[in-house]
Amino acid sequence: MSGFISAIQEGGPWMAPIIISFVFAMAIVVERFMVLLGAKSNQKAVMATVKKAIMSNNFDSAIRECEGLAQKKQALPAVLAAGLKKASNPGKGMQDMEGALEQETLKVFPRLTKRMAFLPMLANVATLSGLLGTIIGLIDSFAALGNANIDPSQKQTLLAAGISKAMYTTAGGLVVAIPTLVLNSILTSMLSNIMDQIDQSAAEVLNETRANRSTKAAK
């Protein structure tokens, strides 16, 4: 711990934007993990309920169940509930159902991706702040050595010490940027899985509803 504090002190004022980037990045990561974990659904169980409702042409129970799960911030049931409401209305066609599914998907997606775009930016800010701090530190070291009236051998020692101190900001920037980018990739993967489930399930519900209506119309 003392080494960590010492590194921050050695890095100087340019460690401040790096630390601020780290705090904001971790806050976003924790908040998004909670949102995405809460948005996940048991796709098989939800789809089994929905398909049963479509086959029996009794949508009320499926709508209630999906709405109950949607109130818990689950994404898939929220989308399916919108489509089932249209399917349960005899006056609504397949285009209305498809439009409702698409519209609800467009409403869900921004809620899931909120603030995630800031993570790559914060990683870049941390990295660039570290590089800038190192460059300024090197400039200051060379300027101080150029004006110092000391023995050349001592200048080499001072230069090495100045370069070592200047590198702390680059190291700090990378220490923040690397885990931020890794965590952003994990969040993006979680988001993709949820959206893939929504797209797949919405297509299945549309096809099941269309086939069920065609069968009844043929009878």
pTM, 2 dp: 0.83
Residue range 69-117, pLDDT digits in tens: 989 899 999 999 988 888 887 777 788 888 989 999 999 999 999 999 9
pLDDT of residue 1: 54
Residue 120 scores a pLDDT above 70: yes
Proportion of the chain above pLDDT 70, given as a percent: 84
- Average pLDDT along the chain: 85
pLDDT of residue 210: 83
SS3 letters across the chain: CHHHHHHHHHHHHHHHHHHHHHHHHHHHHHHHHHHHHHHCCCHHHHHHHHHHHHHHCCCHHHHHHHHHHHHCCCHHHHHHHHHHHHHCCCCCCHHHHHHHHHHHHHHHHHHHHCCCCHHHHHHHHHHHHHHHHHHHHHHHHHHHHHHCCCCHHHHHHHHHHHHHHHHHHHHHHHHHHHHHHHHHHHHHHHHHHHHHHHHHHHHHHHHHHHHHHHHHHHC
Q: What is the pLDDT of residues 47-75, one digit of tens each?
A: 888 888 888 877 788 888 888 998 989 99
